[in-house]
């Protein structure tokens, strides 16, 4: 195990040779548990917010910084990370969140993690420090790491129990739809009423329970600890095909039907086959190492070319 505490150490570690697997908080074990012959590279020693500019809604932090630490800092200025970084309360780091490319429920309205990255300084597979992006809102190829309004806007959650909706015929159970609204307090009741009218009912959820509900969603507290947990990008119409495949699993559909989180007692191999058969891809967060990517893969030609540039000697292992 390597645990660099300076950028120079990190560069040296990479230049040293051997295959490495970076690890932040270890909250996504399927991605951060090394396989045979791979050395773990613990980045928790590279931690801390380097700069925070509340007026611009931007901050810069080292990759090993815990998301929760950043959130606490932002909160003191009434700001927050609207993409609801998953597993924050369990110790996820910024670097791990960015590398895994995972976002929570809030991504529906405000965009996912990549939409908030303005620039990245990184050590590539040659051990060189390179930089891409900038710090202003509009960027060459990046978007903003900014957001506002925690203090100003209050959230509102409605809960609705519905019969399986358009889901698969085999599913016997029912589903629950959670809708969270955020905005100026005076406008919220009327907006919520509209949604209730549209859905034909629903209860308000407030206070502690409201907060708990979304934390549970972000931190996957609902998933069985010894099951695998897989993120599967879908679209509302594809939900039905996910449903037909997994009678034994638990599914949560997030971001208005754009992500399926599947917790399953199955083996990664069998889920991999299922996903491939319906033309979907998945990323495993919980589960055994060696199976990060499941289902179909697109764009491999480009991915390979990018990998050759950033990591020509294949220092970094995928899991």
Please, what is the minimum distance in Å from the beta carbon of residue 124 to another protein? 7
Neighbours of 311 (CB within 10 A): 16
User: Of 66 and 260, which CB lies nearer to another protein in the complex structure?
Assistant: 260
> Is the torsion defined by CA of 59, 64, 67, 68 positive or negative?
negative
**Residues 244, 249, 252: CA angle, nearest 5 degrees:** 85
Please, what is the minimum distance in Å from the beta carbon of residue 1 to another protein? 26
**Which x/- pattern, by CB under 8 A, does the window 11-50 give for another protein?**
----------------------------------------
Residue corresponding to tokens 């900014």: 146
Q: Is 255 in the site for another protein (CB under 8 A)?
A: yes
Strands 38-42 and 19-23: parallel
Structure tokens at 46: 């590279």
Q: Which of 8, 128, 203, 216 binds another protein (CB under 8 A)?
A: 128
**Which x/- pattern, by CB under 8 A, does the window 261-300 give for another protein?**
--------------------xxx---------x---xxx-
User: Of 72 and 306, which CB lies nearer to another protein in the complex structure?
Assistant: 306
Q: Is 143 in the site for another protein (CB under 8 A)?
A: yes
**Residues 191, 192, 194: CA angle, nearest 5 degrees:** 65
Residue 234 near residue 280, CB atoms below 8 Å:
yes
User: Of 16 and 128, which CB lies nearer to another protein in the complex structure?
Assistant: 128
Q: Is 242 in the site for another protein (CB under 8 A)?
A: no
- For residues 180 and 282, give the distance between their C-alpha atoms in angstroms, rounded to a whole number: 26
Q: Is 198 in the site for another protein (CB under 8 A)?
A: no
**Cβ within 8 Å of residue 37, ≥6 positions away:** 19
Stretch that binds another protein, among 26-34, 67-75, 134-142, 155-163 (CB under 8 A): 134-142
Residue 272 near residue 293, CB atoms below 8 Å:
no
- For residues 258 and 108, give the distance between their C-alpha atoms in angstroms, rounded to a whole number: 8
User: Of 17 and 312, which CB lies nearer to another protein in the complex structure?
Assistant: 312
- For residues 15 and 11, give the distance between their C-alpha atoms in angstroms, rounded to a whole number: 6
**What are φ and ψ of residue 219, in 5° steps?**
-100, 10
User: Of 161 and 166, which CB lies nearer to another protein in the complex structure?
Assistant: 166
Q: Is 120 in the site for another protein (CB under 8 A)?
A: no
Q: Which residues would be at the binding site for another protein (CB under 8 A)?
A: 53, 55-57, 78, 101, 103, 107, 111-112, 114-115, 124, 128-132, 134-141, 143-144, 148-149, 151-153, 183-184, 186-187, 190-191, 194, 231, 233-238, 255, 258-259, 281-283, 293, 297-299, 301-303, 305-306, 308-310, 312
């Amino acid at each position: 195990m390597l645990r660099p505490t300076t950028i120079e150490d990190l560069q040296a570690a990479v230049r040293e040779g051997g295959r490495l697997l970076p690890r932040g908080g270890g909250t996504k074990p399927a991605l951060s548990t090394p396989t045979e012959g791979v050395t773990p590279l613990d980045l928790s020693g590279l931690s801390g917010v380097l700069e925070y500019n509340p007026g611009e809604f931007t901050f810069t932090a080292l990759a090993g910084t815990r998301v929760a630490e950043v959130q606490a800092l932002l909160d003191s200025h009434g700001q927050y990370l609207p993409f609801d970084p998953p597993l924050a309360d369990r110790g996820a780091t910024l670097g791990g969140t960015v590398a895994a490319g995972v976002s929570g429920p809030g991504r529906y309205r405000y965009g996912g993690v990549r939409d908030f990255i303005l620039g990245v300084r990184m050590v590539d597979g040659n051990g060189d420090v390179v930089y891409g992006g900038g710090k202003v809102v509009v960027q060459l190829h990046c978007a903003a790491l900014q957001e506002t309004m925690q203090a100003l806007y209050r959230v509102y959650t409605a809960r609705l129990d519905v019969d399986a909706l358009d889901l698969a015929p085999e599913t016997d159970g029912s589903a629950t739809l959670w809708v969270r609204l955020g905005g100026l307090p005076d406008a919220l009741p009327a907006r919520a009423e509209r949604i209730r009218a549209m859905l034909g009912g629903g209860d308000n959820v407030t206070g502690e329970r409201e907060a708990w509900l979304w934390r549970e969603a972000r931190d996957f507290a609902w998933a069985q600890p010894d099951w695998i947990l897989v993120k599967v990008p879908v679209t509302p119409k594809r939900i039905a095909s996910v449903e037909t495949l997994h009678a034994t699993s638990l599914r949560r559909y997030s971001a208005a039907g754009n992500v399926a989180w599947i917790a399953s007692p199955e083996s990664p191999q069998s889920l991999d086959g299922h996903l491939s058969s319906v033309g979907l891809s998945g990323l495993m967060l919980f589960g055994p190492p060696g199976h990060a990517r499941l289902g179909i893969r697109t764009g491999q030609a480009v991915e390979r070319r990018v990998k050759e540039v950033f990591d020509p000697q294949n220092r970094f292992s995928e899991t």
